[in-house]
Amino acid sequence: MTQPLRPIPFIDLQAQRVRLGRRVEERIERVLAHGAFVMGPEVVELEEQLASFVGARHCVTCANGTDALQMALRAREIGSGDAVVVPAFTFVAAAEAVSLVGATPVFADVGEEDFNLDPLCVAPALAQARRSGLRPAGVIAVDLFGQPADYERLESIAAEHGLYLIADAAQSFGAAIDGKRVGRFGHVTTTSFFPSKPLGCYGDGGALFTDDGDLAAVLRSLRQHGQGVDRYDHRRVGLNGRLDSIQAAVLLAKLELFEAEIAVRQEIAGRYHRALAPYATVPKSRPGVLSVWAQYTIRIPDRDRVAAALKADGIPTAVHYPRPLHHQPAYAGRPVPANGLARSEALSGEVLSLPMHAYLDAATQDHIVASLHRIASGGDLGRAAAAERSPRL
């Protein structure tokens, strides 16, 4: 197959840089001029703009998404002897944050269509936690690949069992359910501004959102070493979770384009949906859900062979994620429901993420689709994909 004229980036940050023009440089130059490099005025401005964008009363920025999760857990004093339900099919940060505060992650299975925590799988995880001698304390719902979890049902479950619900929007910032932005679900929402995220800085960054003023005050203390009335008054064990002013400046510049980029991501995802459905299981959204498509992740048989063939055509792919968390050595022995985690295990062997960003032009996307079409047509992948779409788990 004809190779593209230039390498295809998996996420094209350079094209975004061109679109931004001088916005980033101008913002950074202001930071260099005033010299408040940590928690400077850009941080305050960013928190105000992010809270307004989401519609939340409070935004507390921090150093990264994992710190945001830790801060959310520490704010509720979750620790030793507590169990927090975490999806088994996700990035490690959720289980890591639970472990870092001394609590125990209890793994639950995910849905086949949106890859998010299945509300029906929370109860079996809670039962396993109790059998393991743990106190169920919370749930972390990770919005995988840009799609918000089913928060209506999860909020009901959390209320029924007295659980602290953390919405992990590291991959879904900018998404919405029935017009309600991510950042307004659960007791607190966390997010990440890692460069590859839909809204990313040029380093690490994170934030938390809540309508609870008391919780927001504790979060601000936690990010400053547990600070009280002054920098040498420490009311709680905290961490150094502050956001750099330069990263806030970058985010303020990018926020100007963010709404337009979200709209373009919908168009690109729609083209993928229509073109790839005959050859792979494409992701599905619940009615009323707006995804930001942090990743466009399909399910396809013989995934590794398909990825190798796409690479030969100059098309980068990624596997998010090749191993569920309960199979990771660091989390071996953590509680797993008695009925297992079959969906998480199956997905880990089938998922494949394709290039996805707001600057993926139609010609490049056509090349990706044509390549996958040719690879699928060369064998029985199309028939196998159809079989995979039939319920089996």
Please provide the DSSP assignment of 176-223 as one string: EETTEETTSSSSEEEEE--TTSSS--SS--EEEEES-HHHHHHHHHHH
pLDDT of residue 388: 42
| Type and span of the H or E element at 123 | helix 122-131
Q: What is the pTM of this model?
A: 0.93
Q: Dmax of the chain from CA atoms?
A: 68
Instruction: Return phi, psi of residue 192, to 5°.
Output: -125, 145
pLDDT of residue 7: 86
Min mean pLDDT across 4-8, 37-41, 260-264, 285-289 is at 4-8
C-alpha distances out from residue 123 to 50, 171, 279, Å: 34, 25, 35
Class of domain 258-388: alpha beta
pLDDT of residue 2: 53
**pLDDT tens digits, 304-330:** 999 999 999 999 999 999 999 999 999
- The CA-based dihedral angle spanning residues 51, 294, 113, 311, taken in that order and rounded to the nearest 10 degrees: -170
The percentage of the chain sitting over the pLDDT mark of 70, rounded to a whole number, equals 95
Between CA 376 and CA 379, with CA 378 as vertex, the angle to 5 degrees is 80
Q: Which CATH architecture has domain 14-252?
A: 3-Layer(aba) Sandwich (3.40)
Which stretches does DSSP call E strand in 229-383? Answer: 289-290, 296-299, 351-354
Residue 166 near residue 156, CB atoms below 8 Å: no
Check whether the bond before 321 is cis (ω within 30° of 0): yes
The candidate with the shortest Cα–Cα distance to 172, out of 182, 185, 162, is 182
Collapsing DSSP states into helix, strand and coil, what is residue 110? Answer: strand
pLDDT of residue 3: 55
Chain mean pLDDT for the chain? 94
**pLDDT tens digits, 40-57:** 999 999 999 999 999 999
Segment 15-21 long-range contacts (CB within 8 Å, at least 24 positions apart):
15/357, 15/359, 16/254, 16/257, 16/261, 16/357, 16/358, 16/359, 19/257, 19/359, 20/253, 20/254, 20/257
Indicate whether 379 pLDDT > 80: no
CB-CB neighbours of 263 under 10 Å: 11
Tokens found for residue 205? 């960054």
The percentage of the chain sitting over the pLDDT mark of 90, rounded to a whole number, equals 93
282 DSSP assignment: -
Question: Could you give the CA distance from residue 258 to residue 263 in angstroms, rounded to a whole number?
Answer: 9
CB-CB neighbours of 17 under 10 Å: 13
Sign of the four-CA dihedral 299, 304, 309, 310: positive
Question: Could you give the CA distance from residue 292 to residue 225 in angstroms, rounded to a whole number?
Answer: 33
Give the start-to-end residue ranges of the domains of the chain: 14-252, 258-388
Which stretches does DSSP call E strand in the chain? Answer: 58-62, 82-87, 104-108, 135-142, 164-168, 176-177, 180-181, 188-192, 206-210, 289-290, 296-299, 351-354
What is the pLDDT confidence band of residue 380, given thresholds at 50, 70 and 90?
A: very low
Task: List Cβ neighbours of 84 (8 Å cut-off, separation of 6 or more).
Answer: 73, 78, 98, 103, 104, 105, 106, 137, 138, 139, 140
- The mean per-residue pLDDT over the stretch 154-174 comes to 98
What is the pLDDT confidence band of residue 360, given thresholds at 50, 70 and 90?
A: very high
pLDDT of residue 1: 52
pLDDT of residue 244: 97
Residue 120 near residue 153, CB atoms below 8 Å: no
Collapsing DSSP states into helix, strand and coil, what is residue 240? Answer: strand
Indicate whether 385 pLDDT > 60: no
Tokens found for residue 91? 């990035």
What is the pLDDT confidence band of residue 279, given thresholds at 50, 70 and 90?
A: confident
